[in-house]
């Protein structure tokens, strides 16, 4: 019988270096083709989640109106904490905290609105200020986030540091012509342009270089009174988020989404708005009573 040689076909030949490099190159091309598709699917899911958040917020405004007869106000000042009276949250003009605090009972956060298990009104305010709510965050930008720094409320609540739960959404508008205004609540009857023509809440623009750090328009969080953290201007057009060594959101609406930001209108509907919208049209959208009728095709 003939002996098998060492070069018999029964032995397996390994990859050569060139073949291995070719395989790696092909895998790299495939990954390069697949990654944008994965990112696109992820962004699509994130945008939908963000729109759902805004839908819930818009519904919470209407539930607030149904229960109390008016929409949430923008609160009082940037140093105004949530207002309690003997453990009961104030409503209407007496509530110094902003709209984000006022809608808590209608976004499944009634225990936070009531101040948790705290036994003093100051303690209840501290609980509410520091409790993040997933509904207030766009997943394209960040998960729920808090920051902690020296108590700057007047009068102080803790005498030390205090944690603030942040927010990615802002109401219309800081110019004073919108559905959410300082001190005094607005009623549906005050929106003479029609609820479907009037911006309610949208995403806010921020400088991503300072995400999660104390910055002028993203530090006091969702409970703050009439402040750029939660109320933005429609006299300035929207713009996407950016990164820079200096600067903040410039009082503008905006987002981390490409091309368009999400927005809830006073009728409860949710739309997307092009960053390149005509600034005059955007100003009209933010004004509840300027007698301008805007079509969805305009934005």
Buried b (16+ CB within 10 A) or exposed e, 118-143: beebbbbbbbbbbbbbebbbbbbbee
User: Which pLDDT score, from 0 to 100, does residue 17 have?
Assistant: 72
User: Which pLDDT score, from 0 to 100, does residue 295 have?
Assistant: 81
**pTM score:** 0.87
Domain presence at residue 118: yes
Bridge-based pairing state of the strands 231-232 and 199-203: unpaired
Bridge-based pairing state of the strands 169-172 and 231-232: parallel
Domain presence at residue 191: yes
Domain presence at residue 15: no
Domain presence at residue 128: yes
Domain presence at residue 2: no
Q: Please, what are the averages of pLDDT over each run of 10 residues along the chain (299 residues)?
A: 47 66 73 68 91 98 98 96 97 98 98 97 98 98 97 94 98 97 97 96 98 95 97 98 96 97 98 97 97 85
Task: Quote the number of domains for the chain.
Answer: 1
Domain presence at residue 18: no
Domain presence at residue 7: no
Q: Which two tokens stand for residue 95?
A: 């509530």
Domain presence at residue 25: no
User: Which pLDDT score, from 0 to 100, does residue 39 have?
Assistant: 72
* Domain span at 138: 42-298
User: Which pLDDT score, from 0 to 100, does residue 32 have?
Assistant: 73
Cα-Cα end-to-end distance for the chain: 87
User: Which pLDDT score, from 0 to 100, does residue 1 have?
Assistant: 46
């Amino acid at each position: 019988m003939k002996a098998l040689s060492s070069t018999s076909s029964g032995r397996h030949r390994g990859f050569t270096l060139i073949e291995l490099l070719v395989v790696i190159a092909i895998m790299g091309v495939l990954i390069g083709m697949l990654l944008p598709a994965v990112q696109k699917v992820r962004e699509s899911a994130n945008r939908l989640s963000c729109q759902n958040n805004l839908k819930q917020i818009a519904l919470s405004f209407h539930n607030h109106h149904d229960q109390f007869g008016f929409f949430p106000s923008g609160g009082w000042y940037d140093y105004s904490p949530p207002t309690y009276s003997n453990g009961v949250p104030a409503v209407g003009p007496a509530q110094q905290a902003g709209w984000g605090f006022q809608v808590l009972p209608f976004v499944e956060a009634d225990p936070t609105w009531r101040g948790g298990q705290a036994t003093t009104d100051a303690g209840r305010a501290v609980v509410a200020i520091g409790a993040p709510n997933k509904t207030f965050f766009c997943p394209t930008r960040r998960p729920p986030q808090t920051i902690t720094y020296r108590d700057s409320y007047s009068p102080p609540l803790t005498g030390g540091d205090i944690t603030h739960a942040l927010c990615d959404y802002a109401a219309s508008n800081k110019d004073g012509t919108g559905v959410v205004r300082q001190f005094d609540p607005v009623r549906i009857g005050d929106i003479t342009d029609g609820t479907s023509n009037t911006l309610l809440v949208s995403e806010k623009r921020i400088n991503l270089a300072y995400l999660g750090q104390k910055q002028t328009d993203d530090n006091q969080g969702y409970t703050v009174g009439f402040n750029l953290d939660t109320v933005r201007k429609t006299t300035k057009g929207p713009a996407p988020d950016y990164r820079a060594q200096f600067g903040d959101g410039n009082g503008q609406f905006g987002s981390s989404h490409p091309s368009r930001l999400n927005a809830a209108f006073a009728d409860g509907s949710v739309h997307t708005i092009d960053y390149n919208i005509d600034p005059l049209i955007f100003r009209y959208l933010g004004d509840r009573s300027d007698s301008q009728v805007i079509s969805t095709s305009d934005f």
